[in-house]
Structure 1
Amino acid sequence: MLRRLTPVLLTLVVVVLGITALAARPEQGPAGRSADFVVLAGVAGLRWEDVDPQTTPTLWRMAEQGSIGSLSTRSAHRPTCPVDGWLTLGAGNYAAWNGSRRQGGCPRTEVTVEQPDGIGANLPDQEGVVRYNQDRQSWGTMPGSLSESVRCSVAVGPGAAVAAARPFGRVDRYAPALPADPAPLLGSCVLSIVDLGTVDGTDPTARAAQARRADAQLARVLAARPPRSLVLVAGVSDTAVPSRLHVAVADGPGWERGWLTSPSTGREGYLQLVDLAPTALSALGRPMPERLFLGRPALSVEGRPADLRTAIDEPAGADREAGAQRRVAGWFFALLAAAQVALSIAVLPLLRRARRHAGPHGPAPVSRRIVATVELLLVAAALAVPAALLADAVPWWRGTHPGWWFAGVTAALVVGGTAVVRFAPGHERTLGPLGAVAGLATLVVGADVLTGARLQLNGVVGYSALEGGRYAGLGTVGLGVFIAGALLCAGWLAQRVRRGWRPAVMVAVGGVAVVIVGSPYLGADSIGAIALTAGLSVAAAISTGGWLTVSRLAWATMAGLAVTVGFAVLDVRRPAAERGSLGRFLAAVGDGTGGLTVHRSSSANVETLVNSPLTLLALAGAALVWFALLQPWGGLLRLFGIYPAIRAAMAGTAVAAGIGGLLGGSALDVAGAAGALVVPMAALASLRVLDHSTDRTLPGAGRPGDEGTGGAAGGPTDGDGPGGGRAPVDGRTPDAGRPEPGRADAGRDRPGATGGGGSAHPAVPGPPSPSAGPVRVPAQPGPASTDVVTG
């Protein structure tokens, strides 16, 4: 009865852990009204490197007493040109101005502003812009949503007119430039939007002159600001390629000396352009059109350094790091993919010659030195991504040649990690390198997540704040590495215990990983947690041996569905501002806009599949596994038969990585990151299993009942199971085990079989001592030979 109830109990444990991780969310008190007036002042292209006490004294003083942050200006176009930025500001959602766009640049866009009555204005192009964003874009954007949420608004300058225009093109109050006395105009409506100009180009002198003019205009705005007002200054767009992070400053009651952040970023010091519209309405105490706004109200949090120069250095450094990350990430993943493909090709002849022949004839074995070198290269390849993540602890982007600095730091870390694995205890055992590499990878990614995921933000193998997709928690590459590392660690540990305890070990280790991935305080990836739950359930179901039967698949599927449904029910009942991605999707399905989310996810999957170097990694790894490692000469089937917990971990990794990439809109990126760790370790372990394929052991040399780990039930244990620790043969650790019942390859994988029929060898005279370890029996000449176990 207990054996029958075990799958049920383990499924319940996985479900409870998954829902607990996803359901707990940080408390967010309701943002109350904090101002009677809001002034949004925008400067296209303004970056933190343009701000200093001499060039922009007004903005400097405002930043000293207010809250500051880095602004991601993502819109529906890449890059976000000034007209796109202003339109996105007024829409509270990713928007784009219709019209032709030359590749990689921002053309000068003339905005027609008509003033028929001298009070307001009209944009005749607004109707076409609304139609373009509704029909040609997948965000459900409605330009003019901000102005539609207030009774009246003021716009100063053509850029501000684009942001303040209602969907039918009307601007309530408009002035082409600031009047001599701006106070009456700014006080005529609760919301004012002011275009302070543009800062563009690469010449420092020209940029400084433009920033000085914008600062002078800001001084006039602050002098005429209405009482009890919130003033937001933002670099609303890029002006050229590549994209950059921009200035964001808030000054008003409740915004003193802090970092700006937003629930849409979850990271102190970062907010998005789409957050400005809901911030303005929240400060005014106005309701927000939730179906139309993608952003969330910004907040001011403590923790900013007292010295403004020190505080500004952080967002300025983040901008430099994000720019360097964009340049370095492409060639890093391209080189990694090329190196792993080349290494996969180099492993093929070693696999074909790794199995030792018992007869006097056969190909000469490959030099042990060459095999050891290839093993070290496989370990180095598996550690490349964790090393690249850890390299961001060093400020490599500040150097003159950041790419070379990153390469040097990463190479040093790879060499150090490989040395740790090489000289770690148990390296000579078959699963020794696999367990060490998986442990290091899990430790690096897990420690980063537990300490705030600072290495992934703007990191080469992390995510960029310039892309606007993620700002906190686990990124796509980190998720793939963490899934693979955690499940391989669980399989390695499960293989060291008795068969009946293996599912419990898998669930214990994997359950902690689910909590880390899914918790909004840590990984903040609900899709990843659901995917990992499904993979963990599969791994736990087959960790004791056997295949993925219908009943086991049913329990694994039920666990994944239970976590998904349980979290969905809890998430959709939260307030709209506190929902996660799954809750927002279900709410969108309820109001009829869920098709846009599905369309965006499908488009993202296709784009990533075509353009990402990780796709090549995933396909190359799959090809090596299918056409080599899983072949009769490849060794992976033998590895799976001897170590069922490792097979379970790899199967669970494949399931989790596939689901996580598909549902997360990252196609094969998660699978590619996981494969970069799993495939080299699978090849290394297969080489070692084939190398020990002719080793034999004495009956009764291990503990009775150690199925799948060696001993009397399965041959030599390699020290990886309860019966391990016996002396090696010919300086090598023996490795074999009893195959699964009913396997078609049971005869081939049996430790005493070489695949050929024929006569048996005579027994060795005189039974050796049981403590002497396994004995290799030399083959005798004859027409065919078969290894026998002697005693």
Structure 2
Amino acid sequence: MSGFGRLSSLTPARRGPRAASRSVRRAPYLIVVLAAIATVVGLVPGPASGAPSDTVDYVVLAGAAGLRWDDVNATDTPTMWRLAGSGSIGALAVRSGHRPTCPGDGWLTLGAGNLTARSDRRTEPACPPLPVGIDHQGQDGAFLSGAEKDRILSANKDLPWGAQPGALPESMRCTTTIGPGAALAGARPFGRIDRYRAELPDDPKELLAGCVLAVVDLGTVDGSGAARRTAAKVADERLARLVAARPPRSLLMLAGVSDTDADARLHVAVADGPGYAGGLLTSASTGRPGYVQLIDLAPTALSALGRSVPSKLFPGTPAITAGRRVSLDDEVRRLVDADREVRAQGSVSSGFFTILTICELLLFLAAIPLLRRARRPAGPVTPAPNPPWFERGVEVLLVAASLVVPAALLAGAVPWWRTSAPGLVFAAATLAVVAVFTAVIVWTRGARWVLGPLGGVAALGAVVVAVDVLAGSRLQLNSVVGYSAVAGGQYAGLAAVGLGVFAAGVLVAAGCLAQHVHRQWRPVVVAVLGGIAVVLTGSPYLGADAAGAVALTAGVCVAAAMSTGGWLSFPRVAWALMAGLAVTTAFALLDMHRPAGQRGTVGRFLGHLGDGTGRLVIHPIEADNAVVMATSPLTLLVIGVGALLFFALLRPWGGLKRLFGLYPAVRAGLAGTAVATLVAGPMRGVGFNIAGVAAATVVPLAVLAALRVLRHADVRTPAVSVDPTGAAVMTEQAAGPATVAELSAEQPAERAASQP
């Protein structure tokens, strides 16, 4: 017994080290699981935000086609100015089923609460006249003419949004309609107009009190100079009659319902009534204080009257008041400035990406001779080496090219759109930021390392985008490399271009960082950094990009599985797929429990699948992908990068295979970037734009890293020592100062596999 007792007392001592060893081996997996759980928790949806709890007895929708905030002032339009002072204001995006949104399209969209078009004809350079065909006009109402109804039906039958013209008046018992434009908005689906007047009477009090909803056309504000000021004054005089005659307990909304030419702009939105006093208008469809959409006005009217909003008919959401504004003068100046920025952004953006694509493709061509001559083969006859100045110049240009997109985002902090030459000022600001960033990257101590520029630039790009997202994505709104408020679809969160920079930066930086830790802990580094990036991308409080979060999850799983080196075996693929599926499923379930107007891409898609209208989501995304892939210069950049990889970088002399053999975690980061960005683009309906931006950021640096690896390809290591962890340590005399710090962290098997 005593002997047995002594043996049993020794057993725990013998098993202690083994148990500790197992705990150490399991620790990385436990951390990865915790990172996945934290990712799901970070995607918990935000609280619901609906319309104000106050309801009204009447709603008056007053519209003036073309009305902008630079038309509103205390002198020329005193009624509008006073209404803006007492109510809530915002910039109105007048997107419709036709681009640009002409007056007929805007009025129809107002009445449908969905994207519609009056005509399928293109508008260049001016919008067609508004006259509306009306039959059987009488005291009790009227009808749209047969030709008018046929034109509307023909223009909307093939549109993918499932709009029903006249859905708003069809939701009411009766609607009062005044003016030709209002006739389009106030007509029921079969063309019936309940109560119609062609002109606003001097005293419309009795007319406005006849129905709970009134739609009034205040006229069109177009042209420039004195003619435009005169049109704005006429609209203001008509509005004064409405304000004087509005019923008690009513909500009055003023909207610039459309553009008047091919130049898309932001327009006036004012709501005055219970629940809309002295604030900024916003809605769940924009998520940005101070911005609402034209399709939000119909749901706002229904909610103000205490009626439910059917999401199948009305994709917009009720407008609400968000926060307090500064003085009316300052707020109107801010809205005018936003419209000016939107106008300048469109022309500068297309030129920016075209020039970026051309310059990067030319730079890749210039790097091919460097790649071919970087390695000095043995033999009596060798090609002439590259001139040092040429090599150094191409290296600096490669670093600068990878910094252009993050620099363009920061250049948005400079008010370049206020100048007489906005394109030149924006280019100068961007180049100045590029020069500063390039100097920081090139002349720091870490730039001597093979992975120094690659990891440094990737981390810098990710940090720039992350800081902007945490600050409310202010630099991405109406930015050359962001999203435009007049284009619709996105007003807050992470832009497609920002997602490309952010995904590439996080995954590549994680790969470079993971390369310097023990092999067992590399998946932990990738999973933790990737999990933080997924939360930042998909959280409704931050990036608000459900599709981007799902795609980034796939990229993180692939990068984590490949980070330890070797091939993608079945167990690795299976674990990566299971982790990605778990996070994606959890995110989808959380997104489905959000209010319909606040769901992301995944939640909206699942919701439409549930009610049998999934085609309404799939078809627009397919159409957008086709248009973007055919017209975007970034598509050409993706094709050029594919050719560079196949014909140069992955050739025996290209250096990329050797780079991947020496640095498997970097290979994992680049592979994860490719997966994430190629998946995210089609899911968001932007084609190859996200992948193109990611390629513009990391491919120049991959070329630079391949060049540096090739220069040391013929270095032999006569003396190699092994430390207790099993890592090979190379002497500085054998490896050179630029590579010893990184190659010392490699496993012997990984290094041996990459030897020529």
Give the TM-score category using the shorter length: over 0.9
Matched residue type, 1:265: T
Q: How does 1:367-766 map to 2 (within 5 A)?
A: 367-701=387-721, 703-705=723-725, 707=727, 711-712=728-729, 715=730, 726=732, 732-734=738-740, 749-750=754-755, 753=756
Instruction: Work out whether residues 398 and 700 of structure 2, in 8 Å CA contact, stay in contact via their aligned partners in 1.
Output: yes
Structure 1 equivalent of residue 78 of structure 2? 57
Instruction: Work out whether residues 256 and 267 of structure 2, in 8 Å CA contact, stay in contact via their aligned partners in 1.
Output: yes
Instruction: Summarize deviations over 1:712-765 as a string: whole Å, max 9, x none.
Output: 4xx46xxxxxxxxx468677545758999999x966x32xx4xxxxxxxxxxxx
Structure 2: distance between partners of 1:409 and 1:259:
31
Instruction: Work out whether residues 154 and 173 of structure 1, in 8 Å CA contact, stay in contact via their aligned partners in 2.
Output: yes
Structure 2: distance between partners of 1:464 and 1:253:
31
Structure 2: distance between partners of 1:668 and 1:731:
39
Match of 1:158 among 174, 180, 183: 180
Structure 2 equivalent of residue 189 of structure 1? 211
331-340 vs 9-18, which deviates more? Answer: 9-18
Q: Which runs of 5+ in 1 are unaligned?
A: 717-725, 754-791
Matched residue type, 1:180: D
Q: How does 1:90-105 map to 2 (within 5 A)?
A: 90-105=111-126
Structure 2 equivalent of residue 213 of structure 1? 234
Change (3 A) 1:706 1:670: farther
Change (3 A) 1:10 1:535: farther
Structure 2: distance between partners of 1:129 and 1:563:
48
Q: How does 1:42-81 map to 2 (within 5 A)?
A: 42-81=63-102
Change (3 A) 1:391 1:284: same
Q: Aligned-pair distance for 1:319?
A: 0.5
Instruction: Work out whether residues 98 and 120 of structure 2, in 8 Å CA contact, stay in contact via their aligned partners in 1.
Output: no
Structure 2: distance between partners of 1:29 and 1:284:
14
Matched residue type, 1:24: P
Structure 2: distance between partners of 1:738 and 1:280:
65
Structure 2: distance between partners of 1:110 and 1:706:
83
Matched residue type, 1:517: T
Matched residue type, 1:147: P
Instruction: Work out whether residues 117 and 156 of structure 2, in 8 Å CA contact, stay in contact via their aligned partners in 1.
Output: no
Q: Does 1:226 align with 2:242?
A: no
Change (3 A) 1:568 1:473: same
Q: TM-score, normalised by structure 2?
A: 0.93
611-620 vs 578-587, which deviates more? Answer: 578-587
582-591 vs 492-501, which deviates more? Answer: 582-591
Instruction: Summarize deviations over 1:129-155 as a string: whole Å, max 9, x none.
Output: 563365310000001111111111111
Q: Does 1:86 align with 2:104?
A: no
Q: Aligned-pair distance for 1:356?
A: 2.6
Q: Aligned-pair distance for 1:695?
A: 1.8
Structure 1: distance between partners of 2:491 and 2:468:
14
Structure 2: distance between partners of 1:36 and 1:299:
18
Structure 2: distance between partners of 1:740 and 1:618:
34
Q: How does 1:133-172 map to 2 (within 5 A)?
A: 135-172=157-194
Structure 2: distance between partners of 1:143 and 1:741:
70
Structure 2 equivalent of residue 37 of structure 1? 58
Matched residue type, 2:277: E
Structure 2: distance between partners of 1:99 and 1:509:
48
Instruction: Summarize deviations over 1:626-647 as a string: whole Å, max 9, x none.
Output: 2211111100111111111100
Structure 2 equivalent of residue 28 of structure 1? 49
Instruction: Summarize deviations over 1:478-536 as a string: whole Å, max 9, x none.
Output: 00000000111111111111111111011111111111101111111010000000000
Structure 1: distance between partners of 2:721 and 2:392:
29
Matched residue type, 2:642: A
Structure 2: distance between partners of 1:10 and 1:232:
54
Structure 2: distance between partners of 1:576 and 1:299:
16
Q: TM-score, normalised by structure 1?
A: 0.89
Structure 1: distance between partners of 2:395 and 2:214:
65
Structure 1: distance between partners of 2:644 and 2:724:
37
Structure 2: distance between partners of 1:30 and 1:89:
18
Structure 2: distance between partners of 1:369 and 1:164:
71
Instruction: Work out whether residues 130 and 180 of structure 2, in 8 Å CA contact, stay in contact via their aligned partners in 1.
Output: no
Any idea what SS the aligned residue of 1:301 has?
strand
Any idea what SS the aligned residue of 1:433 has?
helix
Q: Aligned-pair distance for 1:27?
A: 3.9
Match of 1:256 among 241, 257, 277: 277
Q: Which structure is higher in helix share? A: 2
Q: Does 1:287 align with 2:287?
A: no
371-380 vs 90-99, which deviates more? Answer: 90-99
Structure 1: distance between partners of 2:394 and 2:623:
40
Any idea what SS the aligned residue of 2:43 has?
helix
Matched residue type, 2:108: L
Structure 2: distance between partners of 1:177 and 1:130:
23
Matched residue type, 1:414: V
Structure 2 equivalent of residue 180 of structure 1? 202
Structure 2: distance between partners of 1:217 and 1:738:
77
Change (3 A) 1:520 1:574: closer
Structure 2 equivalent of residue 759 of structure 1? none
Q: Aligned-pair distance for 1:365?
A: 2.2
Instruction: Work out whether residues 625 and 679 of structure 1, in 8 Å CA contact, stay in contact via their aligned partners in 2.
Output: no
Structure 2: distance between partners of 1:49 and 1:100:
29
Structure 1: distance between partners of 2:286 and 2:44:
19
Any idea what SS the aligned residue of 2:288 has?
coil
Matched residue type, 1:270: Y
Q: Aligned-pair distance for 1:697?
A: 2.9
Q: Aligned-pair distance for 1:579?
A: 2.8
Structure 2: distance between partners of 1:378 and 1:598:
39
Instruction: Summarize deviations over 1:313-344 as a string: whole Å, max 9, x none.
Output: 11110100011110101111000000000000
Q: Aligned-pair distance for 1:302?
A: 1.6
Structure 2 equivalent of residue 722 of structure 1? none
Q: Aligned-pair distance for 1:369?
A: 2.5
Structure 2 equivalent of residue 354 of structure 1? 374
Q: How many residues align?
A: 733
Change (3 A) 1:727 1:212: farther
Matched residue type, 1:272: Q
Change (3 A) 1:394 1:373: same
Structure 2: distance between partners of 1:621 and 1:395:
33
Any idea what SS the aligned residue of 1:337 has?
helix
Q: Does 1:114 align with 2:135?
A: yes
Any idea what SS the aligned residue of 1:23 has?
coil
Instruction: Summarize deviations over 1:347-384 as a string: whole Å, max 9, x none.
Output: 00100000133455412321232211111100000000
Any idea what SS the aligned residue of 2:324 has?
coil
Structure 1: distance between partners of 2:642 and 2:468:
29
Change (3 A) 1:677 1:64: same
Instruction: Work out whether residues 457 and 471 of structure 1, in 8 Å CA contact, stay in contact via their aligned partners in 2.
Output: yes
Structure 1: distance between partners of 2:752 and 2:736:
26
